[in-house]
Copies of this chain bind each other. A is one copy, B any other.
Amino acid sequence: MALIVQKYGGTSVGNPERICNVARRILETQHAGNKVIAVVSAMSGVTNNLIDLANAVSKNPTEREMDVLLATGEQQTIALTAMAINSIGGKAVSLTGAQAGIQTDGVHTKARISDITPTEVHEMLEEGNIVILAGFQGQTRDGLITTLGRGGSDLTAIAMAAAVKADLCQIFTDVDGVYTCDPRVVKTAKKINVISYDEMLEMASSGSKVMQSRSVEFAKKFGVRFEVRNSMNTNPGTLVKEEEKGMESVVVRGVSIERNQAKVTIDDVPDRPGVAAIIFSAIRDANIIIDMIVQNVSWDGETDISFTCSAAELPKAEAELNKIIPTLGGNVKLRSQSGVAKLSIVGIGMRSHSGVAAKMFNALAENGINIQMISTSEIKTAVTVNENEIEKAAKVVHTAFGLDA
């Protein structure tokens, strides 16, 4: 008898009919001879409605209370899902995050799981119950309700799978799995059957938002294998697991794109210790998320530092940088441009294969696409191109690495 943790997102439980579908699916999993813990999110739309209510009573809703409010979304879904299972002959009980022993720190609205004591979960399973667990929430040691922030329900599932030593963790979503590229952009994109944690992380951080990075990082840290599947069909999904021999034979696992980016360059920066720290401290203090920091080698005592950020945050970034540029001395100039997109190729096979970057650059060059910035990690090569060329860029790179179905 295997112990399986499943997770169903807000779309999968978006209305009573879908909840009944999910209930059937969970019960079938138990009938196939498994113990089942199912983590559910708030019904789609519910969380946004609650946020609207909060904004209607307060310009700056207290975070402690925001958690009390938002936690009700998942609490409703667990009750409804358990009822639905019971009404078709199953035996299910719901547990809130607190009841399931999910303890977090006290950082309201974006708490981190600090400990899981799944005593109640084990007891309920031993009594033959399916356990329906509220995603996205926990409680502090002092009994305050907390929520885990974006992607919190995935994290609940993976953390609970680690705590109960589950045999399998299934993340059900509204797509069949992780694809070699966004199928809306590259029609020949294929579903990936197996992917390593690191590749999944690079794909996620490059805009393939099947899952938030934090959940994948947690899974990697605790060695939780999980499968991303579609809740609307029974197609096999994508298995995300530790790296194994043989996985390197695929040089590039996928191509990831991120639109609506902006590039910022600080030109003629004095090449002395501490300058980069000043620049990026200012950016961090303004809570601007940046990506692809590039600094080239300096030969003449001055250098250029570039980075990308979302186009929406460009004005804020410019304002912050204009404050500190006069303090840097020299002829420092700020240049920026939106209308930029990022294209990444990801694969652990890159580590042992040379010429991967060259192949990517050639594919782009042959199709007349200009590369603006280049940044690489061990298993990723990323470039920025003009936004209006990103779809073409994705297609030609996808083809160049033999990823087409």
Q: A interface vs B, CB < 8 Å?
A: 16, 19-20, 23, 50, 53-54, 56-62, 64-66, 68-69, 71-72, 75-76, 78-84, 86-87, 93-94, 96, 99, 120, 143, 145
B80 with A94: CB separation less than 8 A:
no
B57 with A80: CB separation less than 8 A:
yes
B72 with A86: CB separation less than 8 A:
no
Nearest Cβ in chain B — how far from A85, in angstroms?
A: 9
User: Considering the chains assembled together, what is the distance between the CA atoms of A99 and B23 in angstroms?
Assistant: 31
Partner of A82 from the list B65, B71, B78, B93 (CB cut-off 8 Å) is B65
User: Considering the chains assembled together, what is the distance between the CA atoms of A303 and B5 in angstroms?
Assistant: 67
B59 with A87: CB separation less than 8 A:
yes
Q: Return chain B residues, CB-CB under 8 Å to A75.
A: 68-69, 71-72, 75
A86 with B59: CB separation less than 8 A:
no
B87 with A16: CB separation less than 8 A:
no
A68 with B54: CB separation less than 8 A:
no
Given contacts A76-B69, A86-B65, contact A143 B58 (CB under 8 A): no
> Nearest 3 A-B pairs (CB), nearest first?
A16-B56, A58-B87, A69-B79
Q: Return chain B residues, CB-CB under 8 Å to A64.
A: 93-94
Interface CB pairs A-B, < 8 A, 15: A16-B53, A19-B57, A50-B76, A54-B79, A54-B80, A57-B80, A57-B87, A61-B83, A61-B87, A62-B86, A65-B79, A65-B94, A68-B78, A68-B79, A68-B94
User: Considering the chains assembled together, what is the distance between the CA atoms of A19 and B69 in angstroms?
Assistant: 14
Q: Return chain B residues, CB-CB under 8 Å to A86.
A: 58, 62, 65
Q: Return chain B residues, CB-CB under 8 Å to A16.
A: 53, 56-57
Report which residue of A56, A83, A145 has the largest number of chain B beta carbons within 10 angstroms of its beta carbon: A83
A57 with B83: CB separation less than 8 A:
yes
Chain B residue nearest to A143 in the complex (CB):
B99
Chain B residue nearest to A134 in the complex (CB):
B68
A20 with B57: CB separation less than 8 A:
yes
A53 with B80: CB separation less than 8 A:
yes
Q: Return chain B residues, CB-CB under 8 Å to A82.
A: 62, 65, 68
Nearest Cβ in chain B — how far from A82, in angstroms?
A: 5
User: Considering the chains assembled together, what is the distance between the CA atoms of A72 and B79 in angstroms?
Assistant: 10
Q: Return chain B residues, CB-CB under 8 Å to A66.
A: 79, 83
Report which residue of A81, A94, A120 has the largest number of chain B beta carbons within 10 angstroms of its beta carbon: A94
User: Considering the chains assembled together, what is the distance between the CA atoms of A78 and B69 in angstroms?
Assistant: 8
Partner of A84 from the list B58, B76, B94 (CB cut-off 8 Å) is B58
Chain B residue nearest to A69 in the complex (CB):
B79
Q: Return chain B residues, CB-CB under 8 Å to A84.
A: 57-58
Chain B residue nearest to A70 in the complex (CB):
B79
User: Considering the chains assembled together, what is the distance between the CA atoms of A145 and B226 in angstroms?
Assistant: 32
Nearest Cβ in chain B — how far from A24, in angstroms?
A: 11
Q: Return chain B residues, CB-CB under 8 Å to A87.
A: 57-61
Q: Return chain B residues, CB-CB under 8 Å to A143.
A: 99, 120
A58 with B83: CB separation less than 8 A:
yes
Q: Return chain B residues, CB-CB under 8 Å to A68.
A: 75, 78-79, 82, 94, 96
User: Considering the chains assembled together, what is the distance between the CA atoms of A62 and B84 in angstroms?
Assistant: 9
Nearest Cβ in chain B — how far from A307, in angstroms?
A: 37
Chain B residue nearest to A94 in the complex (CB):
B68
User: Considering the chains assembled together, what is the distance between the CA atoms of A80 and B59 in angstroms?
Assistant: 12
Q: Return chain B residues, CB-CB under 8 Å to A120.
A: 143
Q: Return chain B residues, CB-CB under 8 Å to A23.
A: 57
User: Considering the chains assembled together, what is the distance between the CA atoms of A120 and B78 in angstroms?
Assistant: 27
User: Considering the chains assembled together, what is the distance between the CA atoms of A60 and B93 in angstroms?
Assistant: 15
B57 with A76: CB separation less than 8 A:
no
B53 with A65: CB separation less than 8 A:
no
